[in-house]
Structure 1
Amino acid sequence: MSGQAEVKVKIPFGNKYLDAIFSVPENKPTYGVILTHGAGGDMNFPHLVTLAACLASHGVLCLRFTCKGLNIAYRAKAFKTVVEYLKLYDDYKLLGVFLAGRSMGSRAAASVIRQLSQDDDDDDFIQGLVCLSYPLHRPKLQSKLRDEDLLFIRCPVLFISGSADEMCEKQLLEDVASKMKAPKKIHWVDKANHGMVVKGRTTDDVMEEINAQVFSWLRDNIKLQHK
């Protein structure tokens, strides 16, 4: 994809640094997406790399980062640090950002949005949430849902989940969505599991479907807010 650059940065986090990469569009961006990975892997997980490239090619700045650790509070703290970093980053004066994550990363993003919305200085910098393979429950443990943050969020939310995701039963997510106060959309990737693998389809083909959904939703929400 032409006209975009990747810029590596290190974001101060406590007494260490978070590795991060900006995917920068050719023209000056006005909106950005902060993107992170699931419980395993890092910011170079292929799904994140292709999504970042897709967004940058369509004029949306993407900052993806790595935060190891399986503690959700720790992951949320790191995500919040990255939000503050981007907000104060002089090279890109953005009107707003969308928080996005895969699996555990989307839980961390949801937690940050809930925290920030409860702060008094909530200033509309965060425009929405993108949940890729949101892990609504542990495999075979549908009785204990991880929905508490989702129910508090007010900004637009996009869920992209596989219809055969063992950590997000279809009916359960639809039930949670129906209780949410936020404007929301669910896109089901037919027969995909938690890792977005679909028998008989290539990874590129599945990612193309997902990336197109994310970008069209972002575009619609940016338009809605600036009519």
Structure 2
Amino acid sequence: MTFDVELPKGAVSISTEWGEGAGRGTVLVAHGAGGGMEHPFLVGFTDALNDLGFSTLRFNFPYREQGRRMPGPAAHAIATWHAAVKYARVRAPEHAMWAAGKSYGGRMASMAAAEGLEVDGLIYLGYPLHPPARPDKPRVEHLPAIAAPQLFIEGTNDPFIQPVAQLEEAVAACQNARIAWSDGGGHSFEVKGHKRPADEVGASLAPLVEEFAAS
């Protein structure tokens, strides 16, 4: 399955993977900067959501479809989020819809939401508040403009959110947002001294989404 995204140099066909649930709504899931939609973390995450009754739509950003490793302009990712929601609404028009993304994918969802993306909530799997060791470069200006509820799922040892007080201040400035902490987790929720497969780590976060959706 694919959908098209209109970009300045022409349309790009976007690969997708739909997971059928039991009518509890749809969670759209975007990948991080360094991996595509087939990353085991995301596969485990969406499989677990399907088991909980949610349908899911994983998708790539255009730069991945074009064989590039580094993200393109933010406008391309924002356009992709709008196209993904449009595609999902045609497929499941009766569903509530949440936008979720790993790191970069979540930040792009937040930027799209600040510009009018209509979803019932946003879920960030390791929001990249700033580049590692650069708390002077926060990516937060647009967050207070988002009206939809926001859930920040964050590892306490994630270098992208140190010091954690800076993230707490950013979330407090939002209209409707909260943090779910993963104790000892890094940027991909890995815990030092406790190795788990990436798909298992992703699956472990699904109940947090279920709780958020219910609230």
Q: TM-score range by the shorter chain?
A: 0.7 to 0.9
| Counterpart AA for 1:78 | T
Contact 1:30 1:94 in 2 (8 A): no
Instruction: Find out whether 1:194 has 2:187 as its counterpart.
Output: yes
Among 202, 205, 211, which residue is 1:216 paired with?
Answer: 211
Give 2:27's aligned residue.
Answer: 33
| Counterpart AA for 2:209 | V
Contact 2:154 2:180 in 1 (8 A): yes
Give 2:120's aligned residue.
Answer: 127
Q: Deviations over 1:71-128 (max 9, x none)?
A: 3221111111111111223xx22332000000000011101111116xxxxxxx5100
Q: Secondary structure at the match of 1:88?
A: helix
| Counterpart AA for 2:19 | S
Give 2:148's aligned residue.
Answer: 155
Number of residue-to-residue matches in the alignment: 200
Unaligned segments of structure 2, at least 5 residues: 65-70
Tell me by how many angstroms 1:159 deviates: 0.6
Give 1:18's aligned residue.
Answer: 14
| Counterpart AA for 1:150 | L
The TM-score, its normalising length taken from structure 2, stands at 0.87
Distance between the aligned counterparts of 1:53 and 1:99, measured in 2?
Answer: 16
Contact 1:32 1:94 in 2 (8 A): no
Give 1:224's aligned residue.
Answer: none
Provide the aligned C-alpha RMSD in A.
1.6
Distance between the aligned counterparts of 2:59 and 2:194, measured in 1?
Answer: 28
Tell me by how many angstroms 1:207 deviates: 3.4
Aligned pairs (5 A) from 1:47-58: 47-58=41-52
Q: Secondary structure at the match of 2:161?
A: coil
Unaligned segments of structure 1, at least 5 residues: 1-8, 118-124, 222-227
Contact 1:30 1:93 in 2 (8 A): no
Distance between the aligned counterparts of 1:64 and 1:193, measured in 2?
Answer: 23
Contact 2:46 2:203 in 1 (8 A): no
Distance between the aligned counterparts of 2:196 and 2:72, measured in 1?
Answer: 26
Q: Which runs of at least 4 in structure 1 moved beyond 4 Å after TM superposition? A: none
Among 157, 165, 179, which residue is 2:158 paired with?
Answer: 165
The TM-score, its normalising length taken from structure 1, stands at 0.82
Contact 1:102 1:131 in 2 (8 A): yes
Distance between the aligned counterparts of 2:31 and 2:188, measured in 1?
Answer: 12
Q: Deviations over 1:184-225 (max 9, x none)?
A: 22111112111221112233564343222122222x23xxxx
Q: Percent identity?
A: 27
Distance between the aligned counterparts of 2:57 and 2:12, measured in 1?
Answer: 18
Tell me by how many angstroms 1:165 deviates: 0.8
Distance between the aligned counterparts of 2:33 and 2:158, measured in 1?
Answer: 16
Higher relative CO (Cα under 8 Å, sequence separation at least 6) belongs to 2
Alpha carbons of structure 1 residues 56 and 173: separation in structure 2 relative to 1, 3 Å: same
